[in-house]
Structure 1
């Protein structure tokens, strides 16, 4: 069975995929020790708040150096999903905030289905 991404690429070959950064961050913090959450969150900002993919990659390397031995699975997730976590950086800064998270889309759909 094909996944959604593969099916979309068949129908829309030029489509770009963006993993919701907010959900990725929340997922990354959910299973961490309370005393480390703030420092991990701050390290992740070095990735998704970067102004370019190059800077984001540097942020990821810094994050890996700091947390890779303690949380290798966390770092691996961000490495494996880096391209889809930073797709929004290919767009002008003015629209990035609408692309990097699905919250606005979720809010729209919730309102649509709650009213209907």
Structure 2
């Protein structure tokens, strides 16, 4: 089965929207550890520790993360040199916006 990469930045934003303000800093710092690991096994271990720690308080968040877990760590299948540019789709989205803006016809002298 093929998996596509979920943008971890967007996943983090979604988590922020679903947790208490007092817990956001702690949760985000711990979730950031997932993409900072050296390999997929370490990242999976960190992610499961995250589930264990926050599962009782934020079961709905953990449940949704477990549903997309296969798609969260796809970037570990690629060489370390390019992981930083693909764990987030921000670069791709930015590039697509530039293309849209340039491709949109502009009428400088309307009739």
Counterpart in the other structure of 2:41: 54
State the SS of the aligned residue for 1:17.
coil
In structure 1, how many angstroms separate the alpha carbons of the residues matched to 2:60 and 2:40? Answer: 22
Shift of 1:16: 4.3
**Equivalences for 1:49-88 in 2 at 5 Å?**
49-88=36-75
User: How do 1:4-15 residues align onto structure 2 when only pairs under 5 Å count?
Assistant: none
Contact 1:98-1:104 at 8 Å conserved across structures: yes
From 5, 19, 23, the counterpart of 1:36: 23
Pick the aligned partner of 1:26 from 5, 8, 13. Answer: 13
Please identify runs of 4+ aligned residues in structure 1 that moved more than 3 A.
none
1:91 corresponding residue in structure 2: 78
Which consecutive unaligned segments of at least 5 residues does structure 1 have?
Answer: 1-8, 10-14
Q: Deviations over 1:60-101 (max 9, x none)?
A: 121112110000111122222122110000111111122211
Once the two structures are TM-superposed, the CA of residue 46 in structure 1 deviates from its matched residue by: 2.4
TM-score by length of 1: 0.81
- Summarize deviations over 1:90-115 as a string: whole Å, max 9, x none: 11111112221111111011111112
Structure 2 unaligned segments of length 5 or more: list them.
Answer: 104-111
Distance between the aligned counterparts of 2:30 and 2:65, measured in 1?
12
The alignment's C-alpha RMSD in Å is: 1.5
Determine the C-alpha separation between the residues in 1 that align with 2:55 and 2:15: 13
Alpha-carbon distance, 1:31 to partner: 2.3
